[in-house]
Every structure is written in C-alpha cells, then in structure tokens.
Amino acid sequence: MPGWVNQLFDRAGGPLFLLGVGTFLAFLGPYNTSGLGWPWVWLYWTGLLILGGMTGNLTAAVFNRFFPNLPVWTSYSLIAVIISIPVTAAVIGIQAALGPMPPPGAWPVIFFFVLLISGAVTALTYMLDRPDSEATEPVAGRALTDKLPVRLRTAEILALESEDHYLRVHTSRGDDLILMRLSDAMAALEGLDGMQTHRSWWVARAAIADAEKSGGRAELTLSNGIKAPVSRSFYPRWREKGWI
C-alpha cells in the first residue's frame, strides 16, 4: 500500500498546494522573513511547509492505524499541533545557523507563531478535502470511510480489492489497506453506482475507463490505471446492464 510519503501527493496536501502556499508566504514575508531575500525566503517557507506536510501525513497514518474513530476536526487540530513541533525545531535551527540561537525563553513564542501558520494551512486543507455540504449524490457509508486515512475519506471510491482478511480501497487520491471484509464494504457502498466484478473485486461504474473482453470474461481498466478482472460468474450481469 502507498506509504505516508505517497500521501504527500494527494490533492490538498500535494506538492503544488504546498509550493503555492509557500510562494504566497514568501511574497508576504511574515515574521520579518522578507529580509532573507530571494530565493532564500522562498526556500525557507516552501521547505518548512514540505516538512510540515510530511509530518502531517505521517501523523495521519498513525491516527488511522491506532485511532481510526477520531472525529475529523479532532484529527486535523491534533495534526496542526504535532506539525508545529518539528517545524519549530527547524525554525530555531535555521535561526541558529544564520545568527545567534534564540534563547529558550523565546521558543514558546516561536512555537505559537508556527502554530498559527500550521493551523491556517491545516484548516485550508480541511476545506479543500471536505465534501460539499449541499451535494445530493450518494456517498460511501462511514463504516468504510472512517477506516480510511483522513485525506482519503472524502475521495471518490473507484474500486475495492480483497486481499486475504484485508481490503484495498482504491480512490481518486490513492489507495490504502484496511481491515474489513469485502461484503461489509460493499454494504457501505450500497448507494453508489457500482457492482461486484469478481469474488475479490467491486468496481464503481464511473471509474471504468476501458474494457477488454475475451470469451465470457473481461478486464476493466480504471481511471487510475489499475486493472480489475470480471469473472465468468459476474460477466453476464455486467453485460446485461451494458456496462461492458
């Protein structure tokens, strides 16, 4: 399964998002950082944001593993605080490298200002990731989504792939392995337009990019590039619906 480093490339926490926010802060030059000059002020802010993004994704992975039922806002708030710890250490280290190290009495103040930036970026990430409150389209049930990493909970479900006692959930922002039976997951997706293709697979209709048919079987290519089999037993149902 993709690790927390791969989650850095998810939509809201991806490199373009981090570079964009870093560039904005570089132009803004808060906390007298404009005195660093270009391109150093840009490297300063984008570097801190990338460090924060990696820390946030690692923290989200830990929360998903050990505290899967944390409310979303609690998760985001704790992530903002945890991100601020290594970023504060990095800020102190950079200041020490460029001049005298800040006295220990100033460290809580530095942490506070880092937390302000971390909280703002985390809140923006939440706003980008949250589902449209006015959306009327059916969504996946929380029995499934609450087991996913925070960043994948509002992503589009493309397919489910059973792997022994685990289930790989393929989404528009990546995939993750969770402890859940395929039958239970399909029950949570009852409102979505999709169908089982194989004893180990379920596929969303909207995720199908192409289909190759051979005899009474087929292989589906999904929008994320993965291929899902359609077994002989499920092929007639798919053909009857005209989906392949």
Instruction: Assign residue 233 the CATH number of its domain.
Output: 2.40.50.1020
Instruction: Identify the CA nearest to 173 among candidates 194, 142, 152, 192.
Output: 152
User: Can you give the residue range of the structural domain that contains 205?
Assistant: 143-241
138: in domain: no
**Which residues, 6 or more positions from 178, have their beta carbon under 8 angstroms from its beta carbon?**
144, 147, 148, 166, 167, 169
Average pLDDT over residues 59-86: 81
Q: Are residues 99 and 163 in the same domain?
A: no
Residue 13 sits in the same domain as residue 120:
yes
Q: 35 and 124: one domain?
A: yes
Q: 160 and 108 in one domain?
A: no
Stated pTM of the model: 0.49
pLDDT tens-place string over residues 12-67: 446 676 777 778 877 877 777 777 778 888 888 888 888 888 888 888 878 777 77
Q: Is the pLDDT of residue 124 over 80?
A: no
* Nearest-10 crossing angle of helices 72-98, 107-129: 140
11 and 74 part of one domain: yes
The verdict on 177 and 125 lying in the same domain is no
Domain assignment present for residue 28? The answer is yes
Percent of the chain with pLDDT over 90: 9
Alpha helices in the chain (DSSP H): 4-7, 15-28, 40-66, 72-98, 107-129, 142-145, 182-188, 235-241
Tell me: the pLDDT tens digits for 201-237? 999 888 888 888 876 678 888 888 888 888 888 888 8
Among the three residues 94, 129, 164, which one is the final residue of a domain in this structure?
Answer: 129
Domain boundary among 75, 95, 129: 129
How many domains are there within the chain? 2
Q: Residue 153: inside a domain, yes or no?
A: yes
